[in-house]
Structure 1
Amino acid sequence: MYKQANVIIWMLILIITSIWGYSWVMMKASLSFMGPFTFSAFRFGIGAVTLLLIVLIWKVKLPPKEQWKHLIVVGVLQTTIVFLLVMYGLRFVDAGKSSIILYTMPIWSSILAAKFLGETLTKKKWVGLLIGMLGLFMVIGWDFFSEQRMNVIFGEILIVISAVSWAASNVYYRKKLEGLSKLQVSAFQMLFGTVGITVAASIMEWGEPIHWNGELISYILFTGVLASALCFTAWFIILSRIDMVTATLSTLLVPVFGLFFSLLLLDEIITTNIIYGSILIIVGIIICVGTGPMSKGSVPSSH
């Protein structure tokens, strides 16, 4: 019975991470129909409403009022900044490469945790960080020497900043909100983060045409309801059954699926430096996450 339960959990993990990986294809494809900020506003607006309905159905209590300001900060760092920059960066950078760059987040989390949480960077963690940084250099640094267009490099820098912002939200969560349930934090940070995205979309993309059709609506519903809310909720159930280190490492399947679906559906070119760099990043993250407490305290995200 226990073995059967483990098989079901790992099947769920594969389904969820493949959906999150596939979302990168849809995020990239959506840019043909509407602006990047507008898409994010629709996606996370629907996602936030769905998550809040789940909170209501499960009768999860509202967060204490004194914690709302911290939830706003996490929402801005985790949802507003990350997805404004990621979606804008996707205008110039391939979806597969973007997913790899964003998932360097655990590396930045380790660095910020050492600075702001007083965590020790052991020799093993330093090795992991150096390996991960070498991988990141192989993925994007190569472009500086290969006559790559400047807008591509600009997009890659935006996604690196997104990864740092995601890491900062994790550190802030551990410092201010660790007492709250992750479902509470996720639902309300998404709500507040969506407000920020909507404001940005209204300022930057007001009056821009939206080409509504069935394809675009499917992208919004898939990424908003399925990837951002329902998979999110299923992920919390999984977190109650497995340890956080295993859960954190299993999310590394997301950029792997992102690369696979981008190659299969978008005909993106996966170069050898992206493959080798991705391997180094994943190895570096495994070393970092497996050797410190940072793995126990991160805000799950449907990237």
Structure 2
Amino acid sequence: MKRDNKLIIYILMLIITLLWGYAWVLMKDALTYMGPFTFSAFRFGTGAATLLLVVWIMNIGLPPRRYWKHLIVIGLLQTSAVFLLVMYALEFVDAGQSSVLLYSMPMWSSLLAVQFLGEKINPAKLTGLIVGIIGLFTIVGWDMWVGQPLEVIFGQLLIIIAAIAWAISNIYYRRNVSGLSQLQVSAMQMFFGTIGITLAALIAEWGEPIVFNATSIYHVLFTGVLASALAFTVWFFIISKIDMVTATISTLLVPIFGLTFSSLLLGEQLTVGILTGSALIIAGIVIATVAKER
């Protein structure tokens, strides 16, 4: 890949990780205005509507029907499963810690890429993955030792499952629909994913109060248009252009931004366990990536 093209991809990575990092603060604060599933339905409904409008204006058209079953799977994994689990877990887990746990996704993507994409793993890369996994258990384990409530531990486990679901969707995308337009993929998977989230919201949160004001509308619009429609389209573009490990390493910036924004805007405490675990996860992914490039 040419140097100029690499620079563009790195800039795009920085933009989407900033958007996703800040979005964690809004996702947490949105729970004061509506239920977690209801907010997700509004967020991704807005994102899907935005992308479908862009597809229509640009006259791109919908993808061939033979791809729809794959897009449904990606939508259910990346949009429905990930954000139903994450938004529910945010009722028990701090936004900063949640972002660290979800963005353990690169570890799971790397492991799955070895099995399903044929990417080879060497001792240094394996070491990096092990260090990252130790960091993950450090975040969860230290909290357990100091007497965290069971619901917090349950929330942490839900976010880890969400990270694995996202990793699976990355591999599934590369194997089945990477040849499609990124706008088509992002629009259709988000549309199908929104259907799953909306059904969950209707079943679990029907009749619960919803507060619409300037703040809650801002939360929906920012996370729906920028952190979902724009960011996930860019994400599909990135993982279609470069290898999975290099692409996913960029997302480790999100916990850094998420923890920073959560500390500054929500007053969440950066504990020793969170900081140590975060450092280990980042070190593990860096080790794995540097080893691959060499």
Structure 1 length-normalised TM: 0.87
Tell me the TM-score normalized by structure 2. 0.89
Q: Is the 8 A contact 1:107 1:288 kept in 2?
A: no
* Counterpart check, 1:39 vs 2:48: no
Q: 1:291 to 1:73 in 2, by over 3 A?
A: farther
8 Å CA contact 1:90–1:155 kept in 2: the answer is yes
Identity %, equivalent residues: 61
Which letter maps to 1:278? S
Distance 1:49 1:62, change over 3 A: same
Would the aligned equivalents of 1:22 and 1:258 in 2 still touch at CA under 8 Å? yes
Q: Does the 8 Å contact 2:110/2:244 carry over to 1?
A: no
After TM superposition, give the deviation of residue 119 of structure 1 in Å: 4.0
Q: Which 5+ residue runs of structure 2 have no aligned equivalent?
A: none
Write the letter of the residue equivalent to 2:102: L
Aligned twin of 2:227: 227
Classify the secondary structure of the residue corresponding to 1:200: helix
Match status 1:89 vs 2:89? yes
For residues 74-153 of structure 1, the aligned pairs below 5 Å read: 74-153=74-153
Seen in structure 2, the aligned counterparts of structure 1 residues 246 and 292 have a Cα distance that, compared at 3 Å, is: closer
**Contact between 1:104 and 1:285, CA under 8 Å: does it hold in 2?**
no
- Post-superposition offset of 1:13: 4.6
Q: CA deviation at 1:87?
A: 0.2
Match of 2:171? 171
Q: Give 1:117 shift.
A: 4.0
Shift of 1:238: 7.4
Partner of 1:284: 284
Distance (Å, rounded) in 1 between the aligned partners of 2:209 and 2:228:
25
* Structure having the larger proportion of residues in helix: 2
Answer with 169-178 or 152-161: which moved more: 169-178
> Following TM superposition, by how much is the alpha carbon of 1:171 offset from its aligned partner in structure 2, in angstroms?
1.6
Q: Unaligned 5+ residue runs, structure 1?
A: 294-303
Partner letter of residue 277 of structure 2?
G
Partner of 1:22: 22
What is the alpha-carbon distance in structure 1 between the residues aligned to residue 9 and residue 105 of structure 2? 24
The number of residue pairs the alignment matches comes to: 292
Deviations, residues 101-143 of structure 1 (Å, cap 9, x unaligned)? 0011111112223344454332122101100001101111112
Distance 1:238 1:125, change over 3 A: closer
Is contact 1:124–1:287 with CA below 8 Å preserved after alignment?
yes
Please name the residue that 2:60 is paired with.
60
RMSD, aligned CA: 2.7
Relative to structure 1, the CA distance from residue 8 to residue 215 in structure 2 (aligned partners, 3 Å threshold; closer, same or farther) is: same
Contact persistence 1:128–1:288 (CA under 8 A): yes
